[in-house]
Amino acid sequence: MSSEEGTTASGLDRLASVNLNLLVPLLALLEERSVTKAAERVGLSQPAMSHALTRMRRLLGDDLVVRQGSGVTLTPRALELIAPLRGTLQQAAQIVDFPSFDPATDQRVITVAMTNSTAFVVGPRLTRLVAERAPHATLRVRTITVPTEATFTEGGVDVVLISEGHSSPYPRERLYDDRCVVVAAPDTPPQAGALDLLTTEPHVVVDTDRRVFPYSVLEDEGIPYRVGLWISDFLLVPFHVARAGGVALLRYRVAATMRTLADLRIEEFPFPLPGLGIDMVWNPRLNDRHFVAWLRTLLYDAAVER
């Protein structure tokens, strides 16, 4: 036996003496950073989870989680463990090969997080497709504004749909491309182009601490404009423009969807802009590859422009 084989065998021998049942609650604890939430996630009582934490600390020779103020924080060793432990358990799940997701019988809650404008574009079609293809499942749409890391991992979210302009700590896939357009009331002068509308009509702008991106382009180009209305709800912008007049800058897919509900004029933005695509970011804890493949196809079908 080579020295390498002897080392491997010795490692496996020692592993045989370890209670591997601790690994699943350990990952839950490291990801949830809460004994109570971790216990709920893996189906243990809180005392049982606390007992498991004691055993994990003894096994690894590290405190793993330490109390800090009203919450807890992970030790450096615990932070190092998350990625390899998650990968190991995902591989183990594939080896065991649990029964495949069956949309005809599955009764799970499918949770998708997205902004209200993205929900406006894909939400109704997604609802119809879930009802048709997974008749016993329930769709839950969680609306968000600016995603945080917790958005991707908490609350049972399966996938988050975010603009390409927002960062993500996890890999992303393009769902659909979008662009910025100029929208105006239908009774604006037909001979007026997009630039004329932007300089002569009062602007309806989302009232937010974050600067609306295309306006920096207008200012860089020296284009004068006047804000006539600040409004806090993004989806009220095109409706207000259609009914009360003015001009606004919107995503094309939002404007096109709103145009099915209210008469709205849409013109192309007069200057080059980067894309405004929408991406899918999957919850890294989601191990059911059959379900992920099914939901990915469903989202693509829901996002097809009609």
- Is the domain of 74 the same as that of 132? no
Write out the residue range of the structural domain in which residue 84 sits.
3-96
| 93 backbone φψ class: left, alpha, beta (φ>0; ψ -120 to 50) | alpha
Confirm if 12 and 21 have CB atoms less than 8 A apart: no
Is 187 contained in some domain? yes
Q: Is residue 102 part of a domain?
A: no
State how far the alpha carbon of 151 is from the alpha carbons of 53, 227, 291, in Å: 26, 33, 20
The count of domains in the chain is: 3
Output the CA angle 248-253-256, nearest 5 degrees: 75
Let me know whether 173 and 191 are in one domain. no
Q: Does residue 159 sit within a domain?
A: yes
Mind listing the pLDDT tens digit of every residue in the chain (306 residues)? Answer: 444 444 445 566 666 667 778 888 888 888 888 888 888 888 888 888 888 889 889 888 898 888 877 677 888 998 888 888 887 877 777 676 666 789 999 988 999 999 999 999 999 999 999 999 999 999 999 998 878 878 887 767 899 999 988 888 888 999 999 999 999 999 999 999 999 999 999 999 988 776 677 888 999 999 999 999 999 888 889 989 999 999 999 999 999 999 998 899 999 999 998 888 999 999 887 878 889 999 999 999 999 977
In a shared domain, residues 191 and 243 = yes
287 and 161, same domain (yes or no) = yes
Q: Which positions ≥6 away from 165 have C-beta within 8 Å? A: 213, 276
The answer to whether residue 261 sits within a structural domain is: yes
Q: Are 283 and 256 in the same domain? A: no
Distances (CA, A) of 83 to 30, 80, 87, 89, 285: 10, 7, 6, 10, 11
- Based on the fold, state whether residues 123 and 244 are members of the same structural domain: no
Around 152, how many Cα atoms within 13 Å sit in the side-chain half-sphere?
Answer: 20
Measured between its terminal Cα atoms, the distance across the chain in Å is: 65
Domain boundary among 71, 96, 121: 96
Residues 133 and 201 both lie in one domain: no
Identify whether residues 90 and 12 lie together within a single domain. yes
Q: Is residue 104 part of a domain?
A: no
Same domain? For 161 and 294 the reply is yes
Residues 169 and 193 both lie in one domain: no
